[in-house]
Amino acid sequence: MIKNLFKNSLIATFIFVFILIYLLFLYALYIVPNNFADKISFIMILGFTIVIVGVFLAAFLKTNSRKNSEVFLNFNFISEDLIKIILLISMIAAFFIPPMKNSMATDWRQVQTINFIRAIIYIIGSLFLPGACLYNFLFTKNELEDLVKIEPFLLKLTLFPIFSLVFIGISVMILDIIGLVKEIFQLILLLFFIGLFMIDQIIKIRNSGIYLFSKAKINISRNSFIILFIAAGVSIISLGIYISTEYLIQGDSWWPLGPCNYIGRKDIDIIDLYHDQHYPPFAGYILVGLGSLTGLPYLNTNALLAPFSYVSITSMYIFMKSILDKYNPDFSYLSTILVSIYGGLFLLYPIQINNWFNISHYSFRSMFIFDYKTITFILFYIALSFFFYSIGSNSIVDKSSKINKLYKPLELKLIILASFLLIIGYLIYMIPLIPAIYISFFYFLFSKKQLKKKIFSTLLLFWLMIILFFIIFDFALMFILSDLFYNKFVKYIFTPPWISPTLFVYTILFSLVFSIFLFFLIYKKFFYEKTIRIEKLKLKLTIIYAIFILGFTIFISIIIYNTIKNHDDINKHYILVNQLSFEYIILNIGLIGILAIYFLYFCFKNYENNKELVNFLISWILFSLIFSSISFIQIRFDKINPTFEDLLFAFNWFDKNWIFAIPAFSILTIIGGFEFRKKLWSLKIFKLNKFNTLYIKSLICTNKLLAISLILILSYSNIIIGGVYRGNTDENRRMSDAEAQVVGWVADNIDHDSNILIENRFQLYTPINYLINSTVYLIHSARNFDHIFDYQIPYELQTYKLKENKIEYAIFYDDIHYGCNKKMSNFIDGYLIPFFFDEVVYHYKDITIYRRAPNIKINGIYKATYNFIYDTVELNEWNLYEKGGDVKVILEHNGHKKVVQLFDNNENKLVKMTNSFNIQESGTIELYFESTEIEEELSIRLQSNFYIGPYICIKSSEFLYYNGTQFVTICDAQKDTFYHLRIDFECGNKTYEGLNQDEFFIYINDIKYGPFNFSEDINTVDKFVIATSKEFKNGSVYLDAVGYSWDGNYNIGDNKLEIMTA
C-alpha cells in the first residue's frame, strides 16, 4: 500500500508540474506576446486543466476490478419524477415574471436579477423535462440502456437535452405555420410541457406506479466517469469563453438568429424569405421557443446554452460505443478522449491556418460555443449511433451468424429515430447529411458476410425513412428543403429545363435508394461468395503500406521543415496565396491523424482479426478527405490562375467537411496504438520476472506519462491557444454591451427590408447583416462586402450612392470610427452626420443610430481641393497662426456649408492660415471669401517661402493689390458678402493665360482685372496665405472651396459647382 501511495504521489506530482510548466510555456509563447495576459478567463483555463487531468486519469485511474465497465462510483439521488415536479412547479411560478421587452438582444447589464432567475429555471427545465418525458414514451424501462450498455445517468444526460431541443423546435415550427404570434408561444409551450408531464405520469401509473420520494441509485463506471470528467471540463471551457465574450463569437454563429426576427409575425412569412438562404430556419424555431420561455432576448438565451457543450463529448462517446464496444470496451472512451483533444499540429508556435486558429471546425463548435452547428453535430452522431445499434450491437465484430428477418420493436424505433434526428439536423445545417449517407454505406459494405443482408435491409429502410421525413418537412416548409438542397449541392449538375428543381431533387434522392439496391444485387451475384486468402492479402498490404509509410515520412518531414523555416509567414493568407493544399491538410489532420496513418501498419499486421473495422475506417477517412478536397482538385484542373475567393472557398469547404473523419482517425490511432503496444511488450526487454518487474513497471509508467504529455503538447496546444484567442475580452474580438443593445434595437424597431450603413466593425456588421433581410453596407471597401465609399475617389463625390442604394439608416460610433482613417472619420463627423444623418433615432452608450432624410439635397458644398468637409473643428494640412484669435471650421455661413472662420479679437495681433504645396511656376487658385471688416487690412497672398508674389487685400472698403511700391485700387468691396476670387499667375516666361513673367490676373465674381505685377520677383510659388492684420479686430473672415489648378481632381471653375448629393 505504501508503494502504491508513493507511486500515485509521484504520478500526481508529475501531472501537476507538467500542467504548470505547460500552461506557463503557452502563456509566455502566445498569451503575453499577443497582449492577452490580462484578458483571459480563469474559468476557461480551469476547464482546459480539467480536460488535461482527465486525459491522464484515463491512463492511471484504477478500479478494484479489471473490468473498466463495472461500477466505479455510485450514489443516491432524488427520483427523476420528483425532479420533473420540482422543475414544472418552478417553471409555472417563473412564468409570472415579466419577460424583457427586447426580443433579439440586450446589454447583459439591463437584465435584472429576477429575469436571470426565470431564465435559469426555464433553461434547465426546458432542456430536461420534455426530453425526459419523450424518452419514457419512446423506450420502456432500461430497454435502451441494456442495448447500448451505458449507464442510464450518462445516457439520459445526453439524450434529454437533445430530445427537448427537437421538441421545442418542432412545436414552434407548427405554431408558426398555423399563424400564431410569438407573444403567446411561451404560454402554449408551457402547456405542452404540462401535457407531456401528465401523459408521462399516467403511463407510469398504469405500468409500475410512481415513487416520488424513492431514491434513485446512480451508478457510474470508470470509463463513464472519465468521459463525464472531460465533458465537465469542456462545459467549463465554453462557459468561460461566454463569460469573457458575453455574447456570440463573431461569424456564422449569427445565422440562426436571422429567422428569429420573422418567426411568429403576421406581417412576414418566414418561409417566403428563406428559399434562397444558406441554411434552413429550424435553428431559429429552437431559439424563439427558448427565448419565449426564458423571457430573455434570443442572443442572450443562446449564451445560456454554453454549459450544455458537454453533450458534444457524451454523444461522441455513445457513437464510439456503437462501433467499438464489443471489439474492446476501452476503445470507446479512449477514442472519445482523442476526439476531445484533436487539434492541428503544433510546431512549438501557433500558426493560424484557418478560421478557428488551427483547430478543427468540430473542436471549435464542440468546446468553445454551443450553437446551431453544435446541435447538428450532436444529432449527427446520435443518429448514426441509433442506426448502428438498430442493426444489432456492434455487428462489425459480432460473432453471431443468425440474422433476424424481422425487426424487433426497439430496432425499428431506433431506425426511425435515427432518420428523424438526421433530418432535424439537416433542417439546421445541411452538410452532415452527406457524411451520414456514405458512412452508413461503408458500414454495410464492410460488414461481415453473414450480417450483410440484415444490414442492407436496415440501410435501405434508414435511407427510405430519411427521404420520407425529408418530404414531410419539405411540404410543411413549402419546399424550402428541396430548394436549399438544389442550391447547395445539385444546381451544378445539368438540370433538364422541363423539370422543376424540387422534382429533380426528389428524383436524385430516390435514385440514391435505387442505386444501393442495385449495388447490393450486383455485389451478391458477383462478390458475395468470393473469399480472400488472408495471409497473402496481409503480406501484400504490409509491403505496400511499408512503402507508403516511407514516402509519407519523407513528405511530412518536408512539410514540417518548410513550415518551421517559414513560420513568420505561415498563416491562412500565406497558404491561400501559395495554394499549399497538401500542407494545409497535413497541418489540419494533426498529430492524431498522422499517428493513425503510421499505426495503420500494425492494424494490417493483425488484419485477419479486425479487417471489417479497418476497411470501414479507411474508407470512411479516404472518402471524407476526397469529398472535402474536391474544391482543391477542381481549382488545380479547371483554373490556371484561381482568384483569392476561389482559394478561400476551397479551403473553407475542406475545413467544414474533413472533420467528419476525426472519429475514424481517433479510432485507428487507438487500435493501431494497442497493436503497437502488444508488439512492444513482446520484446525481450519487457519480459517480466522477479528481478526486473519493478524496473519494467516504472519504465512503462514513465513512458505513459511522457507519451501523454507529448500528445497533449502537439495536439491540444492549438485548442488552448484557440480558446484564448476566441475567449479573450479584447474589444476587437468581442461584441460590446452597447453593440448588443443596438443589435436588439435594430431587430425590434427597423423594418426588415431597410438598408443600413455601418462602420467597418464586424462585431456590429455581422449580426445586423444576418438579422435583417436586406443589404447592410460598410462605410468603405473591405474584401468583397457591399460598401458605399471608395478611397480612390473624393468621398463628397460619392454621396449620391446613399440614395442610389436606398440607405435609410446609419450606425456610427461616437468616439472612434472603426476601420476608418482620419480623413474618413472627419468626413463622417463633419459632413455625413450633420448634413445627411442629422436625425438621431436611438443612442446607447457610444453608438448612435441616425435616419437619413429622403431626397436630401445639400446646397453650399462646392467641389474644391479644400472644401473642408473632412475637417471638424481643427483643420488638417493647414498651418494656423491664432495669437490674435482662433481659426475653426463651422457648419454653415451665408449659404455655404463647411466654412473656415478666422476670428480676430485682438488689436495688436493677427490671425493667419497658410497652406503649403509643391512649387508651381504658374497656375490658378480659386476660392470664396467674405469679411465682416473691410476698413482694416485683410490680405490674400501667394508666396515662395517669405517672398510674396501676388498680393491682394481689402482695406478702406476697396480691393487693392500691392505692386512692390504701393497699393493700387482694383474695385470697391462690401462686407458680409461672399466673393468668388480667381488668381492666375505666371512666375516664368511660359505666358500662362497670356501673362508675362511675374504677372497675375484676378477675377472677382467673374470680372477680370489685370494683368498686375507681383509684389516681388519670385521664380515659383509654394504657399497660399490668408491673414488679418494687427489693426483688424472684432471681425471674422470666412474662407471656402479653395481650388488649385494643379490638383488632378480639380478643374478651373469646379468650385462654382455644388457637389451632387442625395
Residue 913 sits in a domain of what CATH number? 2.60.120.200
- Residue 394, pLDDT score: 40
Nearest Cα to Cα of residue 563 among 358, 751, 338, 742: 358
Which residues have a Cβ under 8 Å from the Cβ of 137 and sit 6 or more positions away? 199, 200, 203
Is residue 165 scored above 50 in pLDDT?
yes
Residue 407 CB burial class (10 angstroms; 0-12, 13-18, ≥19): middle
- Residue 541, pLDDT score: 60
The verdict on 838 and 894 lying in the same domain is no
The verdict on 886 and 837 lying in the same domain is no
Strand locations in 759-884 (E): 776-780, 787-789, 807-813, 839-844, 847-851, 879-881
C-alpha 31, offset from chain centre: 21
Is residue 1018 scored above 80 in pLDDT?
yes
Is residue 579 scored above 60 in pLDDT?
no
The verdict on 1051 and 914 lying in the same domain is yes
* % of the chain residues with pLDDT over 90: 44
What are the phi and psi torsion angles at 296 (to 5°)? -100, 155
- The string of pLDDT tens digits covering residues 598-624 is 888 888 766 667 788 888 999 999 999
- Residue 216, pLDDT score: 78
The verdict on 835 and 937 lying in the same domain is no
Which residues have a Cβ under 8 Å from the Cβ of 555 and sit 6 or more positions away? 582
Q: Which three cell numbers stand for residue 587?
A: 497541418
Task: Say if 375 falls within a structural domain.
Answer: no
The verdict on 760 and 665 lying in the same domain is no
Is residue 44 scored above 80 in pLDDT?
yes
**Residue 666: which H helix or E strand, with range?**
helix 662-681
Parallel/antiparallel/unpaired status of strands 885-893 and 896-904: antiparallel
Establish whether the linkage from the previous residue to 33 is cis, with ω within 30° of 0. no
C-alpha 416, offset from chain centre: 33
The verdict on 816 and 886 lying in the same domain is no
- Residue 396, pLDDT score: 41
Q: How confident is the model at residue 581 (pLDDT cuts 50, 70, 90)?
A: low
The verdict on 953 and 1001 lying in the same domain is yes
Task: Say if 542 falls within a structural domain.
Answer: yes
Question: What pTM was computed for the model?
Answer: 0.85
Establish whether the linkage from the previous residue to 496 is cis, with ω within 30° of 0. no
The verdict on 845 and 889 lying in the same domain is no
- Residue 512, pLDDT score: 78
Task: Say if 904 falls within a structural domain.
Answer: yes
- Distance (Å, rounded) from C-alpha 757 to C-alpha 743? 14
Task: Say if 434 falls within a structural domain.
Answer: no
The verdict on 892 and 1003 lying in the same domain is yes
Task: Say if 672 falls within a structural domain.
Answer: yes
For residue 854, the 8-state DSSP code is T
What are the phi and psi torsion angles at 916 (to 5°)? -100, 145
What number is the average pLDDT over the span 493-507?
71
- The string of pLDDT tens digits covering residues 620-663 is 999 998 888 887 776 665 666 677 677 777 778 888 888 999 99
Task: Say if 547 falls within a structural domain.
Answer: yes
Domain that holds residue 669: 534-681
The verdict on 886 and 823 lying in the same domain is no
Q: Which three cell numbers stand for residue 913?
A: 492660415
Number of domains forming the structure of the chain: 3
- Residue 242, pLDDT score: 87
Q: Which three cell numbers stand for residue 591?
A: 498529430
- Residue 529, pLDDT score: 54
The verdict on 799 and 944 lying in the same domain is no
- Residue 942, pLDDT score: 96
Residue pair 849/776 in contact by the 8 Å Cβ criterion: no
- The string of pLDDT tens digits covering residues 124-148 is 999 999 999 999 999 987 888 888 8
- Distance (Å, rounded) from C-alpha 340 to C-alpha 309? 12
Task: Say if 407 falls within a structural domain.
Answer: no
| β-strand partners of 1026 | 913, 940
For residue 777, the 8-state DSSP code is E
